[in-house]
Amino acid sequence: MRKGTKRKTTQKEEDKPAESKPVEPSRSKRTKVSKPESEPQYFEDKRNLEDLWKAAFPVGTEWDQLDTVYQFNWNFSNLEDAFEEGGKLYGEKVYLFGCTEPQLVPFKGENKVICIPVVVAVASPFPPSDKIGINSVQREAEEIVPMKQMKMDWVPYIPLDQRGSQVDKLKSQIFILSCTQRRAGLKHLKIDRVKKFEYCLPYFYHPFKEDEVEQSTEVPIIFPIDPKPVFCEFDWELDELEEFTDKLIEEEELPESQKDSFKDFVKEKVREAKKANRLAREARKKAIEEMSKETKEAFEKMKFYKFYPVQTPDTPDISNVKAPFINRYYGKAHEVL
């Protein structure tokens, strides 16, 4: 047979079964289980003023209550929207401070006392005040002190999209009342100093409106005797001192032996209150006389807006507890939102 030619096969050879090659034992292969493709996660973009309400210090809130203020995911989109075009605060210079209002409100089928955060916005070309009022039932006298004495001040709020910029190069239109006192440092302070923060109220004095203190004829009385002081209020126009004192003795609030001392104490407090009212009237009159035309116009146009959180499914229903009253210095808001 020539090389390269094919050999013919006979029928017998074709019918003959082909010799099978020995099969090597196959190695077992691991089956790869493909992981299900996870759906892409979408993160909601942060809003430009999202943390504005948290940046405003909640003045007068007890230190141990601060955490409860942030236990809910409160929504202040109404405050953010106010700065958008067409909003109440659009294009305005605004000063913001926070506060809290403990209220009994329904949540998940039961009524609970909740510390509701509130933000007050003052639309004004200049800071409404550089002072803080310190007052409480327990304190004998009200104090009006510089904000910085309580480590507070108006500072520019930087929106999220501008936080990479230098503060001094920004023309900020939003200022927040900030406090640099840290909770960790409270343990190094005296109790009275710690309590002062809890009795703070943002102070405001409107020279064209007679102050509530000037109009009041009531004097808070804390008469210091043992075993417990006498707490009461005396109105020098409506109350007669002798009769007022006898009633306290009758109700066993005041010992008979302290009657004359108590009356002298009340008379002194009334003299102090009347003097304070007179000085306040004189100060207001002088302030108006020395005020520029521009400042007068600014005071007349100044507006207060009080913002409550927007209702959401995961926050308590506060719709029935909204009120225009801010505090004894600011009075009522022009608008509640």
Mapping DSSP onto H, E and C, the string for 264-290 reads HHHHHHHHHHHHHHHHHHHHHHHHHHH
| pLDDT for position 113 | 87
- Single out the residue of 231, 238, 290 nearest to residue 265, CA to CA: 231
177 and 71, same structural domain? yes
77 and 188, same structural domain? yes
**Residue 5 within a domain:** no
- Predicted TM-score (pTM) of the model is 0.65
- Yes or no: say if 82 and 163 are a contact pair by the CB < 8 Å rule: no
**Residue 287 within a domain:** no
332 and 195, same structural domain? yes
| pLDDT for position 12 | 47
| pLDDT for position 8 | 47
| pLDDT for position 2 | 43
169 and 75, same structural domain? yes
182 and 318, same structural domain? yes
| pLDDT for position 264 | 93
**Residue 58 within a domain:** yes
β-strands 325-327, 331-332: how paired? antiparallel
195 and 117, same structural domain? yes
Token representation of residue 10: 């006979």
| pLDDT for position 200 | 84
139 and 257, same structural domain? no
Give 10-residue mean pLDDT values along the chain (337 residues).
46 49 51 56 64 84 79 90 89 91 86 89 91 70 83 86 60 83 71 78 79 68 85 90 92 90 92 83 81 85 93 89 88 91
| pLDDT for position 260 | 92
| pLDDT for position 175 | 93
User: CA 309, CA 307: separation in Å to the nearest integer?
Assistant: 7
| pLDDT for position 14 | 47
- Single out the residue of 95, 58, 120 nearest to residue 172, CA to CA: 95
